[in-house]
Every structure is written in structure tokens, then in C-alpha cells.
Amino acid sequence: MEIREKIGIRAKEAEREIERFLPKEEGYAGTLYRAMNYSVRAGGKRLRPILMASCHRLLGGDGEHLGAAMAAIEMIHTYSLVHDDLPAMDTDLLRRGKPTTHAAYGEAMAILAGDGLLNHAFTILGRELLSCDPSSMKNVARVIAILSEKAGIDGMIGGQTVDVESEKTGSTITKEKLDYIYEKKTGCLLEAAMMCGGALAGAGEEKIQLLGRIGEKIGLAFQIQDDILDVVGNQEILGKPIGSDEKNQKATYVTYEGLEKAASDVLCLTQEAGELLQQLDSEDPKSREEAVFLQELFSYLTRRDH
């Protein structure tokens, strides 16, 4: 089976899990729930929940509490996009070929839907925590701790802040600051995905940290690839306007390193991630299958065209 097909199947699996945790679209606040569900269902690769589930199985997890954590991380990822697209931020009207949340539901509802998705991620995990038996409570507690740190003010939101500020000032951003943005804005949540998968499998601190380092490399590779696609991508396949970084006078990895170096860095980072991954290998056939999948996924990410 081709990796694209595998990813497609796993994305559908992830979506089935996520659906279980979406709010019913009824009651006085129905518009909020519709705007949240619209945002989540708008598509996307579901990369974070896929990574989480795969790392979970890689480390011998039995799937306990996994669905909730998959839904939570996808909601956090989605809220960040919804707020990022707002007129006060990136002013994007199109994402994944569809109207962005504020384009479809108005600004106020997009702000609230974003708040709702972020908050609901922790509601889901809070419910899970209360329904835990004492033995697995520690694992869910770690998921809450990891996810809130990595999505938080010294993680994703920190990266988003520096990104927005750099964009607004239009001044040339230092390479150091650019690295910060890439590490935090995209890297942190991919790290969290992998770490939480491990945490729910009851992995020790050392293995969880190793997963984080792998996620960091993949996150950086993924982000650089995004920059490359913004320059050379095809708008129809991409589902969003290309050249937006240039239009916004945004310095990217490509600005600093050039297209060729950027492409080879993506390859290199992906390879390093793959090498670290081998340290987590086990003899178990299910675990082995996941190791193969992750390797394929990593190298697929370096060749993706959308």
C-alpha cells in the first residue's frame, strides 16, 4: 500500500475519533457549535492525531484514552488556524480550498469558536481524567501537562506572537528569531503529538523526550517544506493562494537559505528524525509496523506538494 493511501486511512480513523468529541449542534449556543465543527471538519492532514496514535502503538499502547487526546490536539491545532486567519492577524479568506471560519461565520463567532475549541480540548481531557482508574490517571495527567505547555505561551502561542509581530513591523527578521518561530509555532504541537502518544502508552520520561526531539526535527522539516510550497506550489493542489509570504513581506527559511539549501535541509532533518526513531524500535510486530509507517510518513513529508 502506498503511504498516501495509508495516511488517508489513518486520517479517516482519526476523524472518526475526533467526531465522537465534537459538540452536538443544538441549543441556544448552536452557532458556536456549528462554527467549531465547521472549522474542525474543514479537512487537513490530521497529522497531529495520526502521529500521536502511531507513537502510541509504537510504544505498545493499548489505545486507552487515545481518542480523547487525538481529538484534543486536533481541536487545539484547529483553533490556532481559526485565530491565525482572522483579519487582525493573517486575513486569510481561504484555507484548504474553503472559506475560513471568520469568512463563513463572521469575526466574533470565529474568535469564540477558537476559544471554544481550545477550552473544549481541556474539557475533553478533564472528563477523561475524572473517569480514569488510578493507574492511568498519571498518563492522562502527563498528556494535559505536555499539551498545555507545548500549545502555550512558551510554545505555540509564543511562536505565533513573534510571527505576527514580525509580519506587522515588516522589518527583516533575524535568522535566530525565525528559528524561534519555526520551533515554537509549528514544531511544538507536533512534538506534543508524539510525546502524548508515548505518555498514554505509559512510556518513561526518557522515551517521551526522545519522541519530542523527533517531533522537533519533523516539525522544522514540515515548516520549511511549507515555505518551499509557498514559493513553488500549485494553488489548486494547495487549496490556498501561493506567494502569500512574499505578498506579506514575510521572511522565511527560503529567504535566508535559498530554495536548494531549504530542500536539502528538509531531507536532512527527516533523515535525522528517522535515525532517532530507530532507538525506539522493538521486536513486537505491531510496534515494528508503526516504525515503518513513521519512517514512510517522514520521508513523504519531504516530497509532499500540498
Residues that bind a copy of itself (CB under 8 A): 23, 27-29, 31-33, 36, 79, 83, 86, 88-89, 106-109, 111-112, 114-116, 118-120, 122-123, 125-127, 129-130, 132, 134, 137-138, 141-142, 144-149, 151-154, 157-162, 164-165, 168, 177, 180, 184
Rounded to a whole number of angstroms, the minimum distance from the CB of residue 4 to a copy of itself is: 34
- For residue 268, give the amino acid letter: C
Rounded to a whole number of angstroms, the minimum distance from the CB of residue 193 to a copy of itself is: 16
What value, to the nearest 5°, has the Cα angle with vertex 118 and ends 100 and 199? 120
- For residue 269, give the amino acid letter: L
Q: CA end-to-end span of the chain, whole Å?
A: 20
What value, to the nearest 5°, has the Cα angle with vertex 304 and ends 170 and 37? 75
Query: What is the number of other CB atoms lying within 10 angstroms of the CB of residue 226?
Result: 18
Are 192 and 150 a contacting pair, CB within 8 Å? yes
Rounded to a whole number of angstroms, the minimum distance from the CB of residue 30 to a copy of itself is: 9
Query: What is the number of other CB atoms lying within 10 angstroms of the CB of residue 187?
Result: 27
Q: Which is nearer to a copy of itself, 116 or 198 (CB)?
A: 116
For the four alpha carbons of 91, 12, 203 and 75, in that order, the dihedral sign comes to positive
Q: Which is nearer to a copy of itself, 162 or 242 (CB)?
A: 162
Q: Which is nearer to a copy of itself, 69 or 291 (CB)?
A: 69
Are 188 and 223 a contacting pair, CB within 8 Å? no
Rounded distance, CA 163 to CA 223, Å? 13
Using DSSP bridges, classify how beta strands 98-99 and 94-95 pair: parallel, antiparallel or unpaired: antiparallel
Rounded distance, CA 4 to CA 9, Å? 9
Rounded to a whole number of angstroms, the minimum distance from the CB of residue 39 to a copy of itself is: 13
- Can you tell me whether residue 284 is helix, strand or coil? coil
DSSP type of residue 26: -
Q: Which is nearer to a copy of itself, 159 or 274 (CB)?
A: 159
Which neighbouring-strand residues pair with 98? 95
Rounded to a whole number of angstroms, the minimum distance from the CB of residue 202 to a copy of itself is: 15
Rounded to a whole number of angstroms, the minimum distance from the CB of residue 15 to a copy of itself is: 20
Rounded to a whole number of angstroms, the minimum distance from the CB of residue 183 to a copy of itself is: 10
